[in-house]
């Protein structure tokens, strides 16, 4: 604990003291008092100390007059008290000038006041505040612990601290999703600013370098304390005040963050169990043997998911370049999942999920399928994931069905759609099964008679398959259908493109301007794409 210069000057002992310079530095904190008669070995001084001196060697030392205040400021001292009447009759003008320039308090006392009296008064004040701090800390910790032991949760802890400091508090999880807000007072700061500030200090909090941050903003003072236990940060306490937070308020918020960490551990453990039950249920619905309908409905009810009540579909979301993403930021998949669940919930959708390898399989129940477009929701999620976490998503959506026995069908549709996304678009695509178009016609053949399709595309493309550069030229040309556009996309001259197209037509014995020939070539390319990555071994198949 400490005493500020302003508080010190209000004590009776300082009735006759004069603040001759550094008026704007009165908020500086004093943690101890040090007496130096000779101002030579100042390197022994420490930050937060108040220096008291008779300035014995200051009278004739012009260099010391010019360097004393800057050196004390550099070392982080709180201020300097100079006793006049022994060696100095008045404070030198140079010290007053430097004190004002650096907002460093320079205080003059007369020789009637002894240093021992000042030291005793200040140290007693500091010790009393220290005991008060300890008593406050113990009392608050007991109060918060009682709340936690009674199972009254984070919300009551937040409200208790909010009432104590007279300011509104917000609680965020580790991914800066707002969890709780106390009712006390307004919170006039944009959530995006809070998100950016937390993110900027995240590494310091995660590594335990900082236990809190107090930031001066235009709106006031923002206090951020991580909710931490051992090496794990579970979330953040955030408070805003018009004035700086005092030590008791800082203690209160930090105690609350410690107790809340225990609550987060408990919640996290329960959440893991709930997620495991959900995942097992999803796997049973989509890949298991048929079960008794009553058992299915009962399990769904226990998980808060009413089977057969609303139109339900399966969506599969794949994080592209998953291994590289996990190496760069191990928690990205968790953040993406939380983002998805939050956005889907905001749109009134009920969700169960399971992670199969690098893909999330979501069972989504939509009370208003004609009002809420799942494709639009997932496109917005993809944009947010790309913006916030620098990852791209591929999303496949199956059809809606009401009976649980048809959920497997929706799952199969989503799998087939994702397979087409992987082979044709490669990544960053959101596609509904009903939008597969021509691919949908080919999927049954791919399942039942793949050799027919394989034979067709190999016979049609022939020797061209051995020339990847010419195959790429053909693909781009078929998409663009304009020589100039295709040449620009391939970064070649249009005469070079014309030469390549002539060579391709000769190799495959087709005229690309002929409708029938062109249709055969487009089908062959499409089937070729499907065969490139048509196997999707990471997802179990419905039985």
Between 49 and 57, where is the model more confident? 49
Q: Are residues 299 and 261 in the same domain?
A: no
pLDDT in tens, 13-31: 888 889 999 999 998 988 8
Domain end position, chosen among 82, 107, 124: 124
Q: What percent of the chain has pLDDT over 90?
A: 17
Cα 269 from Cα 344, distance rounded (Å): 23
Q: Are residues 312 and 405 in the same domain?
A: yes
Report how many domains make up the chain.
4
Q: For 193-198, what is the mean pLDDT?
A: 84
Which H helix or E strand runs over 355? strand 350-356
Tell me the average pLDDT of the chain. 83
Q: Are residues 425 and 503 in the same domain?
A: no
- Neighbouring residues of 388: CB distance < 8 A, sequence distance ≥ 6: 335, 339
Flag whether 14 is in a domain. yes
Between 163 and 73, where is the model more confident? 73
Q: Are residues 426 and 305 in the same domain?
A: yes
Given a cut of 60, whether residue 409 has pLDDT beyond it is yes
Domain extent, residue 332, equals 288-436
Q: For 401-425, what is the mean pLDDT?
A: 86
- Residue 112 dihedral angles phi and psi, to the nearest 5°: -70, -25
Given a cut of 60, whether residue 250 has pLDDT beyond it is yes
Q: How many CB atoms lie within 10 A of CB 27?
A: 13
Structure tokens that stand for 541 in this block: 């198949």
Cα 33 from Cα 53, distance rounded (Å): 11
Domain end position, chosen among 267, 299, 315: 267
Cα 301 from Cα 113, distance rounded (Å): 79
CATH at 189: 3.30.450.40
Task: State the pLDDT at residue 542.
Answer: 46
Q: Are residues 74 and 170 in the same domain?
A: no
- pTM score, two decimals? 0.52
Angle at 233 between CA 227 and CA 238, to 5 degrees: 40
Between 78 and 212, where is the model more confident? 78
Q: Are residues 394 and 296 in the same domain?
A: yes
Question: Which residue, among 63, 54, 62, has the nearest Cα to 108 in the 3D structure?
Answer: 54
Q: For 146-174, what is the mean pLDDT?
A: 75
Angle at 311 between CA 308 and CA 316, to 5 degrees: 105
Task: State the pLDDT at residue 151.
Answer: 67
Q: Are residues 418 and 296 in the same domain?
A: yes
Structure tokens that stand for 21 in this block: 């310079």
CATH at 468: 1.10.10.2840
Q: Are residues 263 and 389 in the same domain?
A: no
**Would you call 53 helix, strand, or coil by DSSP?**
strand
In the chain, how long is the greatest CA-to-CA distance?
113
Given a cut of 50, whether residue 145 has pLDDT beyond it is yes
Flag whether 543 is in a domain. no
Task: State the pLDDT at residue 327.
Answer: 84
The pairing of beta strand 359-366 with beta strand 311-319: antiparallel
Confidence of residue 535 (pLDDT cuts 50, 70, 90): very low
Q: Are residues 371 and 306 in the same domain?
A: yes
Task: State the pLDDT at residue 35.
Answer: 87
Q: Are residues 326 and 392 in the same domain?
A: yes
Flag whether 49 is in a domain. yes
Task: State the pLDDT at residue 149.
Answer: 67
Flag whether 25 is in a domain. yes
Q: Are residues 251 and 359 in the same domain?
A: no
- Neighbouring residues of 207: CB distance < 8 A, sequence distance ≥ 6: none
Task: State the pLDDT at residue 184.
Answer: 56
Task: State the pLDDT at residue 136.
Answer: 66
CATH at 357: 3.30.70.270
Q: Are residues 25 and 113 in the same domain?
A: yes
Confidence of residue 106 (pLDDT cuts 50, 70, 90): very high
Q: For 247-251, what is the mean pLDDT?
A: 77
Mean pLDDT lowest among 56-60, 218-222, 288-292, 482-486 = 288-292
pLDDT in tens, 346-364: 899 989 888 877 789 999 9
Q: How many CB atoms lie within 10 A of CB 405?
A: 13
**Would you call 325 helix, strand, or coil by DSSP?**
helix
Flag whether 512 is in a domain. yes
Q: For 454-471, what is the mean pLDDT?
A: 88
Task: Indicate the angle between helix axes 515-532 and 438-448, nearest 10 degrees.
Answer: 60
Q: How many CB atoms lie within 10 A of CB 423?
A: 20
Q: What percent of the chain has pLDDT over 70?
A: 91
Task: Match 């923002």 to its residue by tokens.
Answer: 222
CB 362 within 8 A of CB 301: no
Confidence of residue 541 (pLDDT cuts 50, 70, 90): very low
Between 539 and 142, where is the model more confident? 142
DSSP letter at 78 equals -
């Amino acid at each position: 604990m400490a005493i500020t210069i302003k508080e010190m000057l209000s004590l009776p002992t300082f009735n006759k003291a004069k603040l001759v310079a550094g008026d704007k530095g009165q908020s500086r904190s004093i943690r101890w008092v040090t007496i130096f008669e000779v101002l030579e070995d100042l390197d022994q001084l420490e930050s937060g100390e108040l220096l008291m001196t008779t300035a014995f060697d200051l009278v004739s030392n012009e260099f010391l007059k010019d360097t004393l205040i800057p050196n004390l400021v550099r070392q982080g001292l709180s201020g300097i008290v100079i006793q006049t009447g022994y060696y100095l009759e008045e404070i030198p003008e140079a010290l007053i000038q430097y004190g004002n320039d650096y907002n460093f308090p320079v205080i003059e006392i007369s020789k009637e006041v002894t240093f021992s009296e000042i030291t005793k008064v200040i140290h007693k004040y500091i010790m009393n505040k220290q005991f008060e701090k300890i008593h406050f800390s113990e009392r608050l910790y007991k109060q918060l612990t009682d709340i936690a032991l009674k199972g009254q949760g984070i919300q009551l802890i937040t409200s208790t601290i909010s009432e104590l400091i007279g300011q509104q508090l917000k609680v965020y999880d580790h991914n800066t999703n707002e969890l709780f807000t106390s009712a006390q007072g307004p919170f006039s700061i944009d959530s995006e600013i809070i998100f950016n500030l937390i993110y900027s200090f995240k590494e310091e909090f995660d590594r335990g370098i900082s236990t809190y941050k107090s930031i001066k903003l235009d709106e006031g003072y923002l206090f951020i304390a991580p909710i931490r236990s051992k090496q794990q940060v579970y979330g953040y306490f955030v408070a805003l005040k018009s004035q700086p937070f005092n030590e008791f308020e800082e203690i209160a918020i930090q105690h609350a963050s410690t107790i809340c960490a225990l609550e987060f551990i408990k919640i996290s453990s329960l959440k893991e169990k709930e997620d495991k039950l959900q995942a097992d249920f999803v796997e049973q619905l989509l890949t298991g043997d048929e079960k008794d309908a009553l058992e299915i409905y009962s399990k769904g009810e226990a998980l808060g998911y009413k089977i057969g009540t609303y139109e339900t579909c399966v969506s599969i979301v794949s994080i592209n370049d998953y291994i590289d993403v996990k190496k760069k930021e191990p928690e990205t998949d968790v953040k993406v999942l939380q983002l998805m669940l939050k956005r889907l919930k905001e749109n009134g959708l009920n969700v169960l999920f399971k992670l199969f390898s690098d893909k999330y399989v979501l069972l989504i129940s939509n009370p208003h399928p004609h009002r809420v477009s799942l494709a639009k929701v997932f496109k917005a999620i993809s944009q947010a994931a790309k913006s916030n976490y620098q990852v791209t998503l591929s999303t496949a959506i199956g059809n809606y069905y009401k009976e649980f026995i048809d959920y497997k069908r929706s799952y199969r549709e989503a799998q087939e759609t994702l397979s087409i996304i992987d082979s044709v678009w490669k990544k960053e695509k959101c596609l509904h099964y009903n939008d597969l178009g021509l691919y949908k016609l080919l999927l049954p053949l791919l399942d039942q008679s793949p050799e027919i399709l394989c034979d067709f595309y190999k016979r049609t493309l022939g020797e061209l398959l051995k020339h990847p550069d010419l195959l790429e030229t053909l693909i781009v040309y078929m998409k663009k259908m304009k020589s100039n556009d295709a040449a620009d996309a391939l970064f070649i001259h249009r005469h070079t493109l014309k030469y390549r197209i002539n060579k391709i037509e000769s190799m495959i014995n087709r005229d690309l301007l002929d409708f029938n020939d062109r249709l055969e070539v487009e089908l062959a390319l499409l089937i070729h794409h499907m065969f490139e990555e048509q196997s999707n071994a990471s997802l179990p198949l419905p039985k």
